[in-house]
Chains A and B, each alone.
Chain A
Amino acid sequence: MIFLLLVGFGIMALIQVPALVRKRWWKELICYSLLWLTGLALSVIISMGIIIPPISAVLNKYITSALGL
């Protein structure tokens, strides 16, 4: 599974990074790299079976307890 993820994310990088380097859009390249790395890290974490806290459920818990709903 992790191998498949690396292949997928590798293809993603191959599609866009060369074009950004050719245009010398460094700021876009940094943004892209940060988002790409975040996506890869989260995907690997999920594929390893590590549970990420469900954001909407956490938000709901805080809102309902704060407002007493």
Chain B
Amino acid sequence: MFLEKGKISNFQLGLLIIGFVFGSSVIISPGQGAGHDAWISVALGLMESLLIVWIFTTLAKQFKGMTIVEINSLVYGKILGTCISLLFIWYLFHLGAMVLDNYASFFKLEIYANTPRIIIILALVLVCISTVGRGIEVLARCSAILVPITILIAIADSALIIPQIDLKNLLPVLDVPISQILWAGHAAASFPFAESVAFLMVLAFVDITENVSANFLKSLLIVGIILIIVVARNFAVMGPMAAITNYPSYLLAQAIDIGEVLTRLEVLIAVNLITMGFIKVSVLLYGTVLGLAQVLNLHSYRPIILPIGILMAILALTTFGNSVNMLNFAQKGYPVYAAFFQIGIPLITLVVAKLRKLNPTGGSKA
């Protein structure tokens, strides 16, 4: 069942992954729970996520040209497969709402204090709805323009702050209890790296599938290394304050002052959040509507984009209630909640597929 006729190249997929993983991590630093050892946690999280990515790209390679919804139907049968697919679709939908909430909270707190949250959310969601309606190819082309700009801004920001870096802020290394570092590492894997499990809805549309695994891992390594540098930079400049600030990268960009000429560069961080947030929400909305259309056996996913997008915006308005709930969920509940979707579903599906000896074309050998 091909509801999507578009195809994207391996290069476009790579950029889409980088943009997706950057997403809200442009402003929210992963691994903050480990204090000044956060960069170690992010490195550990990256390693854990490489393993997770290997699991789900192996699954995608075994079932070429199929989304996770189609794979579930084949591996578990119609009824159980549909139930598992609906759970996975819920995760994509919920994650999209959480990204929208992060986006709105940042703009409400730092830039548009008097603008209602719903206006900030709708402004982004409507653009995402329009893009998803034009298919995966258009979204991939958008990422080819936006992602290199974001990487350049991240590098420029880091270069301009070099005079204020004090490496003593990163010492002593491994001062934080190892259990805390490991938990923060797992939290860093679940947000943002392993969230790329959403690409199980996209990998089916890559034109050449031979190098997908290597390409996926390469993209994740690139974004992972950039994030490690960004997190280490934040702590090296801000010290312990980086652990208690909601948006350390934004605060740090405010401190850039080159000869009183290059100042107020924090707006570039906000621009990065708009562009990368757009890519992340679009991929999640795309996965949600495509998955639902496949589960319900619809002719096209396009008729349900608008209502699903609006429902995502409504969920974003109500998902946390306040920022204390958001922080609590991010640090405690989310790494456990997300593990089921990021590790549980792909791993169990892969094991069941191997046990049932299902071949790549979809038939059973037995």
Contact = CB atoms under 8 A, between A and B. Distances in A.
Interface of A: 12, 15-16, 19-20, 23, 25, 27-29, 31-32, 35-36, 38-39, 42-43, 46, 52-57, 59-60, 63-64, 67, 69
Interface centre among A12, A29, A53, A63 (most CB of B within 10 A): A63
B354 interface: no
B304 A35 contact: yes
A55 B312 CA distance: 13
A28 B306 contact: no
A31 B319 contact: no
A39 B296 CA distance: 19
A67 B314 contact: no
Interface string B300-320: 100110111011001101111
The 7 closest A-B pairs by CB, nearest first: A60-B333, A35-B307, A54-B321, A57-B325, A63-B333, A60-B329, A28-B303
B46 interface: no
A16 B303 contact: yes
Contacts of A39: 307, 310-311, 314
A52 B146 CA distance: 36
B78 interface: no
Given A31-B298, A32-B304, A60-B334, 7 more contacts: A28-B298, A28-B303, A31-B296, A53-B318, A54-B320, A54-B321, A56-B333
A62 to B, nearest CB: 8
Given A60-B329, A63-B336, A55 B304 contact: no
Contact of A35 (B98, B311, B333, B337): B311
A56 B307 contact: no
Task: Please classify how large the interface on chain B is, using the bins under 10, 10 to 19, 20 to 34, 35 or more.
Answer: 20 to 34
30 contacts: A12-B307, A16-B306, A25-B298, A25-B303, A31-B303, A35-B304, A38-B311, A39-B310, A39-B311, A42-B311, A42-B314, A52-B318, A53-B318, A54-B319, A55-B94, A56-B98, A56-B326, A57-B321, A57-B329, A59-B329, A60-B329, A60-B332, A60-B333, A60-B334, A63-B332, A63-B337, A64-B328, A67-B336, A69-B332, A69-B333
A55 B311 contact: no
B297 interface: yes
Contacts of B141: none
A20 B310 contact: no
Contact of A32 (B303, B319, B334): B303
Contacts of A46: 314, 317-318
B299 interface: yes
